[in-house]
Structure 1
């Protein structure tokens, strides 16, 4: 079990609250980042993306959100850095919850992704 676990959290989101509860039940003291109040920097987003091991930052974005469509982020010519910069500028685009544990990360949709990470 990694020493430091970080939860990118939105308290208004039931999945995010469920992830926090899961960590608490497991006795894991997480650093909770309310990412709408304290948005991750572009560099932090790059690190999270790398730890997710995903093909595209879209895996950590709220792709069904109206803002995603308004900003035309579905454009296939956008680079990973373009997408990460969009999240940095508009943290509401970040999917939630995301747990980072050591060198790995998981989007908690479904929560089983977090279970597998732990």
Structure 2
């Protein structure tokens, strides 16, 4: 709930409307997150694997996540930039104004 409030504040403060999306990737390290821009869409995927030793042997926990948005009209694939922050948010932007800002959590 607090993440949604924080994201809404960030979107409302998006005066230049260059923000395309904020995606929550909590539980994944930045190096486990991949962002691809192709066919008019931005696809964010993340994979995490943990190995645990138990009395019975090794156990593995595997987690993956995939989120996708379509680019708004007038935004070209080669213009899209992204950052993966330590706060578990992927910020996807374009260098010029677009309407409206999109949000995918």
Please tell me the TM-score bracket, short chain as reference: under 0.3
Per the normalisation by structure 2, the TM-score is: 0.27
Q: Of Structure 1 and Structure 2, which has the larger fraction of its residues in strand? A: 2
Q: Of Structure 1 and Structure 2, which has the larger fraction of its residues in helix? A: 1
Per the normalisation by structure 1, the TM-score is: 0.25
